[in-house]
Structure formats: structure tokens, C-alpha cells
Structure 1
Amino acid sequence: MNEQNFNWQLIPTFLAVFEQGSLMGAARQLGSSQPTMGRHVAELETQLGTVLFERTGRGLAPTAAAHRLAEAARTMETGAHALLRSVSLTRNAVSGTVRISASQPVACVLLPPLLARMRLELPEIQIELVASNAVSNLLRREADIAVRMVQPEQSALVARRIGRVTIGACAHRSYLLRCGTPHHVSDLAQHDLIGNDRGEDISRGMATMGMAVAQERFVCRTDDLLAYWAAVRAGMGVGFVADYLRREDRDVLPLLPSMAIPPLPVWLVVHREIRGNARIRAVFDVLARELPPLL
């Protein structure tokens, strides 16, 4: 037998006939025809120079040579399946570094537990987490994926809206015990307020509700969102915080449920050119799945 010319494609037919005991049974198993099975067996016997099956009234009886070949063929089949699984895992595996940009509260409160769970799902991925309130420029590749509260306008960026952040007035229990609880928006005029430093979101929002608040009315002013949250938790006054953040401290109580503060949309953003990258796509899909329930 010339090993270089051996037709290995005949082995599946041989195993099917060996296991089924007939050409018809092998044809059904492999989705082929009985004559094709017969030709394959005859060709294999010719290549090996030995008889593999004795024709009997009850079907095909394997010879001693067939039993020896079956053992080797099964070993070969097992190896082939293992090779296919290995290639499949290599092809589907995602590895490398993905850089995520998000605001401080999202990066420091929402993402860490989510990323810990993602570690189990994508163990070969490393995360670079950029905690910044500035909008990272994905066009300059300052991040691979950004969690944004504003929809990007650049055509080179792809954005998916995954939810919204609700915001409400709140204060620490210690402040309310000391200064009382406001029951109407107008009551805020008699309360200590926590506001922005250079930003104008809070003062502008209060103005739309008919309350013009001068900067001096804010007993604490900061544009750092974590410092703002720390001031609320310390009992410095009434603040305006994302509900997902407020739920982190049971002693920070929601106030004025009728106060209409527009929610902020949340967008997952990625550069169009790299959205098909396997590792970035895998992380993007996990964030799109896991972030909405947390918001």
C-alpha cells in the first residue's frame, strides 16, 4: 500500500459500515447511497489489500482486519474532532486590551462589578478604564468604547442607545434630621444646596422650574461628580444625583418625587472602523447587555 496515495476519506464510510453492519445502514447514517457505500468499501479493501467484511445473509460481518482497523480509525476520528474543537476555540477566542471611557460615577460605581463578571466570560481580555467627565475623542482613538450621556454627531462613530439615567433631588438622613425635609420645590429656597462650580447644569435646571439660584446660594460647589456625591453623603445639603448612585447609600433619601428632572440618555459609542474587531465587539456586547439593568 502506498501511504502517500491512501484515501483517508474512505475511513468515515468504513466506520459507518462497521458500526451499522450493512451498507444500507451506513448510507442512512451518512446521508449517502448504498451503491456509494459499496464502492467505498471495495476501494478501501483494494488499497489495504485485505478483506474487511464477509457478506452473510444477515449483512456484513467484519473480519479480524476490520476490527484492527476500526480501533485505529476511532483513534483517528477522536483526534480529528479534538483538532476541530481546538481550531474553533482559537478562531472564536478574543484576547487583548480594550480601553473604555466613562464618567466618574459610571466608571467607579457601575462598571467595576460588571467588569468583574465580564472577566469570567472573557478571561483573555484586559480593560483600561478611563474615569473622566470629559468626552473622550474616539476619532483620535483615546478610547475604544465610550459610555456617553450625549449622542455623538460624527459619522465615523457608531452609537447605540442602551438606556437612560434618571436624576432626583436627595439628601442624607443626617441633614434632614438637622434641617427638615422639603416637601415642595419652593421649599428648597430655605435649604442648603449643593451645586456646580463652573458648570451650570443645576442652576440652569432650577431656573427652568422657576427658581433663579445665585451661585452664593450653593453651600458647596464642585464639578467633580464623585466629590459632589461625597458632599451629599456627608450631609452638607440637598443635591441632585443619579438614582443609580443614590441607591449606593441607604442613608441618602430621595426627595421631591414630583420634581421633573429630564433623564439623560446613555449611549455606547465605538469608532466605525473598529466595531468589527473581535475583542472590542465582545466587550461592547457585554456592556450593551449588562449596563441597562444597572441604570
Structure 2
Amino acid sequence: MREQVVINAVPLIGELVTPAMMQVSRMMPELELIYRSEIGFADLSGGCTIALRAGAEPCGERNAVRWLGRLGVALVATRDYINRMGVPHCPEDMADHLMVSNDFGDDSAPWFRWLRANTSRQQVVFRTNDETVMRRAVNSGRCAGFLPISSLIWSPELIELMPARDEWAAPLWLVHDRGASETCRNVGRELASIVVRQLS
């Protein structure tokens, strides 16, 4: 049986992490890599799990934590949506726009805090914690939403509705148990190196 390493990541970074995981898989073909997208913090005690977290620096004396960079997000929509609803030039112009939003259950994401401060709950027509579903909702042309800036590269049908703001970006961290297996630490080192390059 092949050795397994689990990558437990916050929602919305699959597009960033999956290509990096495939590069690691090419370098370490003997491994089975497993990707899980979850808002909750993973149990790292088994020694074979790496967590990718956004927001405040994870704490805990058993955690080995590495800063990866800032995850930039953009407020995006389709051309059809923009033709129908227009382009907001300032936050006040958001009053008539329809949104898809994260369903994280808290205000931890910086872009989510901005959205709550600048739109009403009635403007949010759809909520999800799934990155693929969120992208499909935006691609439907019904609403706009926040997606990683990389979405503009991978999904050419999406257009920035407003220029990305620094206040929307979230710190991104790689975390594993200090007692993690050598294989897990090696995967973490390679994954971190690739993601850091992607974010810079």
C-alpha cells in the first residue's frame, strides 16, 4: 500500500493548490496525495496531514507553521452580468448588485467582511462553501462573487467587477505537526515552495 499524505485546505484555494499537488505528485510518484477542502482545522496529530489555512497565524505548540504569502481575491462576474447590471465604481454602487457569498458561518475571510459591510443580506442570492459551486454560480451570469485572482487566468469568461483591493487578501499558512513523518515534512516543503512562487 502506498504512503498517503492528506492536504486539508480552506475552501476557495483548490485552483491554487491542485496544480502544486500535481507537481509534488510528479516528484514523489510513490505517494498517494489526498485533498480535502474544509473550513474546520484538521487534526494534524497523525503525522500525515498538512493543513493550508487562511487568516490569522495558526497557533499551538505542536504546530510547525510556514507563511506562504497573501491569497489575493477579486470580485468577478461574467460579461453578461456586467452588461445587465453595470460596473460599480465605488462601494456605494454595490447597492443594486446580486452576489454569491461564502457560507463559512463567520466573518473570518477579509473579503466576506467587506461584502457584509457594503451589501445587504437581500443582495446575496446564493451561499456556498464550495469553490466549484461558487464559480458555477458566478459563471451562470445571475450574480457576482469573490474568487481567487487566479480565476481570471483559468476562467477567461470572468471579468473583474471592481479592482482587487489589498483589504480583501488573506494571509495563507502551511501547517503540520512538529512530529509529522519525514514524508509529510518533505511534501510540505515542496508544496510550500511551489505555492510561494505562485503567490509572488
Is the shorter-chain TM-score for this pair beyond 0.5, marking a shared fold? yes
Equivalence for 2:173: 267
In the alignment, the residues of structure 1 paired with residue 104 and residue 23 of structure 2 have an alpha-carbon distance, to the nearest angstrom, of 37
Equivalence for 1:204: 113
1:234-253 alignment runs, 5 A limit:
234-253=140-159
CA deviation after TM superposition for structure 1 residue 246, in Å: 3.6
1:164-203 alignment runs, 5 A limit:
164-197=70-103, 199-201=105-107
In the alignment, the residues of structure 2 paired with residue 160 and residue 259 of structure 1 have an alpha-carbon distance, to the nearest angstrom, of 24
* 1:138 counterpart = 2:44: yes
Between Structure 1 and Structure 2, the one with more strand by share is 2
CA deviation after TM superposition for structure 1 residue 111, in Å: 2.8
Q: Give 5+ residue unaligned stretches, structure 1.
A: 1-94
- Whether the 8 Å contact between 1:193 and 1:219 is mirrored in structure 2 is yes
Secondary structure in 1 aligned to 2:150? helix
Equivalence for 1:99: 6
CA RMSD in angstroms, aligned pairs only: 2.4
In the alignment, the residues of structure 1 paired with residue 129 and residue 32 of structure 2 have an alpha-carbon distance, to the nearest angstrom, of 30
Equivalence for 1:24: none
Q: Name which of 147, 155, 159 aligns with 2:52.
A: 147
After TM superposition, the score normalised by the length of structure 1 is 0.59
CA 1:194 to 1:115, structure 2 compared with 1: closer, same or farther past 3 Å? closer
In the alignment, the residues of structure 2 paired with residue 132 and residue 294 of structure 1 have an alpha-carbon distance, to the nearest angstrom, of 22
- Whether the 8 Å contact between 2:53 and 2:173 is mirrored in structure 1 is yes
Equivalence for 2:161: 255
Secondary structure in 1 aligned to 2:76? strand
CA 1:171 to 1:189, structure 2 compared with 1: closer, same or farther past 3 Å? same
User: How many residue pairs are counted as aligned between the two chains?
Assistant: 194
In the alignment, the residues of structure 2 paired with residue 182 and residue 135 of structure 1 have an alpha-carbon distance, to the nearest angstrom, of 36
Counterpart code for 1:149 = A
- Relative contact order, CA 8 A, sep 6+: which one is greater? 2
Structure having the higher Rg? 1
In the alignment, the residues of structure 2 paired with residue 282 and residue 170 of structure 1 have an alpha-carbon distance, to the nearest angstrom, of 36
CA deviation after TM superposition for structure 1 residue 106, in Å: 2.6
In the alignment, the residues of structure 2 paired with residue 165 and residue 96 of structure 1 have an alpha-carbon distance, to the nearest angstrom, of 30
Identity over aligned pairs, percent = 26
Runs of 4 or more consecutive aligned structure 1 residues displaced over 4 Å after TM superposition: none
- Whether the 8 Å contact between 2:96 and 2:123 is mirrored in structure 1 is no
CA 1:142 to 1:172, structure 2 compared with 1: closer, same or farther past 3 Å? farther
Counterpart code for 1:204 = R
CA 1:290 to 1:181, structure 2 compared with 1: closer, same or farther past 3 Å? same
CA deviation after TM superposition for structure 1 residue 203, in Å: 5.8
CA deviation after TM superposition for structure 1 residue 258, in Å: 6.6
Equivalence for 1:113: 19
In the alignment, the residues of structure 1 paired with residue 13 and residue 198 of structure 2 have an alpha-carbon distance, to the nearest angstrom, of 10
CA deviation after TM superposition for structure 1 residue 289, in Å: 0.9
In the alignment, the residues of structure 1 paired with residue 84 and residue 47 of structure 2 have an alpha-carbon distance, to the nearest angstrom, of 46
CA deviation after TM superposition for structure 1 residue 146, in Å: 0.9
Q: Give 5+ residue unaligned stretches, structure 2.
A: none
- Whether the 8 Å contact between 2:3 and 2:32 is mirrored in structure 1 is yes
Equivalence for 2:125: 219
CA 1:149 to 1:197, structure 2 compared with 1: closer, same or farther past 3 Å? closer
